[in-house]
Amino acid sequence: MNNVIINEKDKITMKLVHYFITKENYTPIIVNGAKNEIWLENAEGPYKIIRINSNYIHNEEQFKIDIYKIRNIIRQVRKKTLSLSVNTLNIVLNINENVKVKDVKDISSIIINNESDIYKNKNLKSYFPTIKVEKTKDGDNLDFIIKTTKEINKKTEKENIKYENTFKKKKIVITYALIALNILMFMLMYIFGNGSTDSNTLIKFGANFGPLVKSGQLYRLISCAFLHIGIIHLLVNMYSLYIIGTQIENYLGKGKFIFIYLFSAITASLMSIIFSNNISAGASGAIFGLLGSLLYFGYYYRVYLSSVLKTQIIPIIILNLALGFMISGIDNAAHIGGLVGGAIATMAVGINNKSKNSEKINGWIVLVILLAFLSYMVFFK
CA dist., res. 241 & res. 283, Å (int): 8
Please, which pLDDT band fits residue 225 given cuts at 50, 70 and 90? Answer: very high
Length of the chain: 381
Residue 111's H or E segment, with its range, is strand 107-111
CA dist., res. 308 & res. 186, Å (int): 33
The percent of residues above 90 in pLDDT, for the chain, comes to: 53
**Sheet strands (E) in 175-323:** none
CA dist., res. 294 & res. 307, Å (int): 14
Could you tell me the maximum CA-CA distance found in the chain, to the nearest angstrom?
Answer: 88
CA dist., res. 107 & res. 62, Å (int): 16
Q: Which of 128, 137, 175 is nearest to 22 (CA)?
A: 128
- Give 35 or 100, the one with higher predicted confidence: 100
Average pLDDT over residues 127-143: 71
Tell me if 341 sits within 8 A of 176, measured CB to CB: no
CA dist., res. 43 & res. 301, Å (int): 9
CA dist., res. 213 & res. 216, Å (int): 5
CA dist., res. 93 & res. 115, Å (int): 11
- Give 31 or 195, the one with higher predicted confidence: 195
- Give 197 or 115, the one with higher predicted confidence: 197
pLDDT value for 42: 87
CA dist., res. 313 & res. 121, Å (int): 43
Q: With a cut of 80, say whether residue 103 has pLDDT above it.
A: yes
CA dist., res. 268 & res. 288, Å (int): 9
Please, which pLDDT band fits residue 1 given cuts at 50, 70 and 90? Answer: very low
* Single pTM value for the model: 0.79
pLDDT value for 85: 80
pLDDT value for 369: 97
Tell me if 221 sits within 8 A of 269, measured CB to CB: yes
CA dist., res. 48 & res. 303, Å (int): 12
pLDDT value for 281: 95
Phi-psi category of residue 211: left, alpha or beta, with phi > 0 → left and psi -120 to 50 → alpha: alpha
- Residue 44's Cβ-side half-sphere holds a number of Cα atoms within 13 Å equal to 12
Tell me if 333 sits within 8 A of 281, measured CB to CB: no
What does the angle CA 217 – CA 221 – CA 222 come to, to the nearest 5 degrees?
115
Average pLDDT over residues 120-144: 76
What does the angle CA 310 – CA 311 – CA 313 come to, to the nearest 5 degrees?
75
CA dist., res. 18 & res. 153, Å (int): 10
pLDDT value for 134: 67
The pLDDT tens digits of the residues spanning 288-328 come to 999 999 999 988 887 677 677 777 788 888 888 888 787 77
- What do you get for the CA distance between the two ends of the chain, in Å? 80
Which span out of 5-19, 132-146, 214-228, 346-360 was modeled with the highest average pLDDT?
Answer: 214-228
Mean pLDDT score across all residues of the chain:
88
The pairing of beta strand 88-92 with beta strand 107-111 = parallel
pLDDT value for 255: 96
pLDDT value for 14: 86
pLDDT value for 312: 79
pLDDT value for 261: 98
Lowest mean pLDDT among 125-134, 226-235, 260-269: 125-134
Q: With a cut of 90, say whether residue 6 has pLDDT above it.
A: no
Average pLDDT over residues 265-269: 97
Q: With a cut of 60, say whether residue 125 has pLDDT above it.
A: yes
Tell me if 240 sits within 8 A of 247, measured CB to CB: no
Q: Which of 347, 352, 351, 320 is nearest to 264 (CA)?
A: 347
Average pLDDT over residues 8-14: 83
The pairing of beta strand 49-53 with beta strand 37-41 = antiparallel
Any idea which residues carry the catalytic annotation? 284, 335
